[in-house]
Structure formats: structure tokens, C-alpha cells
């Protein structure tokens, strides 16, 4: 084969390979941009749903036989009220570095205090009673931490968290947990929980002020449009670089 034909074939192969690689890369970048736009719609719907539920007047907690019909998508953040009695001296601590739903505790490091509460019919539900700073981890340092007798609790229905890949292992011996997993806490403490959900307590505040319950305030970040524009911009830039490169190749022929 003549040398010029071999060089020409190599050049064509280089152009074809670069074109295919560019098309694939641009398609991936456009797909990521579209995914971020879909996430934006999902996030806006989530924020609207949560805001609607947390602004409702508290509803009486339905009876136990209705709980099997509860689902996270349809009931999470529903505001409820009910009388219950906390089990004396029983609690589990969930480490937190702050919460996007509780700006009143900001970026403080501390613990959510989870405790089992007995309903009038005898069923146990887990209640996140609120936040305590690290120096108040020991219940003995919290005056009047557990109210005596029945308490009228107002709060929000919440569902357990999934453990992430980088979530530390729970320290069962020290009673410190790193995800809000009522079933795991109950198994370690031999509590028999009846509800598939737990309650984020809004009120009342205990006599000593801690744990600190509070209202949920939705402050979820919504940067998906910015991310989408970034991906679309990268796709456009890559396509532009390819066009300039290809034009240069054709001009040199």
C-alpha cells in the first residue's frame, strides 16, 4: 500500500475515533444536565410537600391498627399530637453535626436524644426528644430531663435513615448511634417498638430545657439549576473544541 494512502487512512481513523468519543462525552454531559433538571423538579416538589405538612394543625395520632397503612412517601412530616409517658431512664443518643431541618441548633455538634414513649394502649413509639450539646451527653447533667407521667407530645412523623457507605459503626457500648434507626436502638435496649416510624418532637420543652425539641424549618439546598447549567456548559464547550479541532484538520488537508 502506498505510504500516502496509509497516512490518509490513519488520519481518517483519528477523526472517526475523536468524533465517536466526543459524541459519547457530550451525550453523557447532556444526560447529567437533564438529570439535574429532574432533581430540581423533585426537590421543589419535596420542599412544597414538607412545607404543606409541617404547617398543618397537629392531627391526633391514629390508632395502632392504622399504622400498617402508613408510608414514608404519603405520611412523613405529618404533624401529630398524642399523650404518652416516657420510660424512666431510657434513651439512646444519635450523633449530629447540625441539621438542615433544625436551624435553631445550627451547626452545633451534639446528640439527638431518642427515647421510647408508651401510649395509652401500651404500645411503644420512639420519640426524638430533641438536641443536647456534647457537654450534656450524660443524662445526669440534664436537670429534670425526663418528665414524669403522661405528656401531651406534638411532633412530626419520621422514618428511619439508611446507613451510608461512610457512616461510622454505631457505638452500642457507649449508647451512641450514627443513623436514626429506631429498630437498631430498640434491639440493643430490648425495647419492643410497635410503630414503623418515629416522632420528631416539636413540644413541649422539658422543665430543664434539654433535650431541646423544636419546629422543623425546611432549608433544603436547591442548587440543581446551577449544576445543570454547568453540565450543559461543559457539553457546549466540548462540542466547540471539537468543531475547532475538526475545522483545523480539514483546513490542513
More confident residue, 100 or 210: 210
Contact 83, 150 (CB under 8 A): yes
Contact 153, 127 (CB under 8 A): yes
Contact 253, 169 (CB under 8 A): no
- Residue 9, pLDDT > 80, answer no
**In terms of pTM, does the model score above 0.85?**
no
Contact 180, 158 (CB under 8 A): yes
DSSP assignment letter at 152: E
More confident residue, 33 or 2: 33
CA distance 203 to 198: 15
**Which residue is listed with cell 398543618?**
56
pLDDT digits (tens, 9 = 90+) for 105-124: 877 899 999 999 999 889 99
Which residues lie below 8 Å from residue 183, measured CB to CB, with a gap of 6+? 160, 193
CA distance 71 to 197: 9
Amino acid at each position: 500500500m502506498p505510504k500516502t494512502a496509509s497516512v490518509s487512512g490513519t488520519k481518517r481513523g483519528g477523526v472517526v475515533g475523536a468524533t465517536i468519543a466526543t459524541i459519547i462525552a457530550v451525550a453523557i454531559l447532556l444526560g447529567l444536565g437533564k438529570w439535574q433538571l429532574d432533581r430540581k423538579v423533585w426537590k421543589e416538589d419535596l420542599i412544597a410537600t414538607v412545607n404543606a405538612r409541617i404547617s398543618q394543625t397537629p392531627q391526633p395520632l391514629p390508632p395502632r391498627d392504622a399504622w400498617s397503612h402508613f408510608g414514608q412517601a404519603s405520611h412523613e412530616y405529618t404533624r401529630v399530637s398524642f399523650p404518652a409517658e416516657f420510660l424512666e431512664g431510657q434513651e439512646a443518643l444519635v450523633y449530629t453535626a447540625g441539621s438542615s431541618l433544625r436551624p435553631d441548633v445550627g451547626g452545633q455538634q451534639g446528640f439527638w436524644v431518642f427515647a421510647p414513649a408508651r401510649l395509652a394502649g401500651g404500645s411503644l413509639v420512639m420519640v426524638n426528644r430533641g438536641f443536647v450539646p456534647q457537654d450534656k451527653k450524660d443524662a445526669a447533667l440534664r436537670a429534670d430531663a425526663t418528665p414524669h407521667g403522661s405528656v401531651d407530645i406534638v411532633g412530626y412523623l419520621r422514618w428511619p435513615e439508611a446507613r451510608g457507605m461512610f457512616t461510622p459503626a454505631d457505638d452500642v457500648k457507649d449508647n451512641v448511634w450514627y443513623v436514626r434507626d429506631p429498630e437498631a436502638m430498640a434491639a440493643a435496649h430490648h425495647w419492643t417498638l410497635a410503630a414503623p416510624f418515629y416522632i420528631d418532637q416539636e413540644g413541649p420543652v422539658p422543665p430543664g430545657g434539654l433535650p431541646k425539641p423544636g419546629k422543623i424549618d425546611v432549608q433544603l439546598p436547591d442548587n440543581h439549576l446551577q449544576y445543570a447549567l454547568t453540565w450543559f456548559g461543559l457539553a457546549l464547550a466540548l462540542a466547540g473544541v471539537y468543531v475547532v479541532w475538526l475545522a483545523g484538520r480539514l483546513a490542513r488537508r
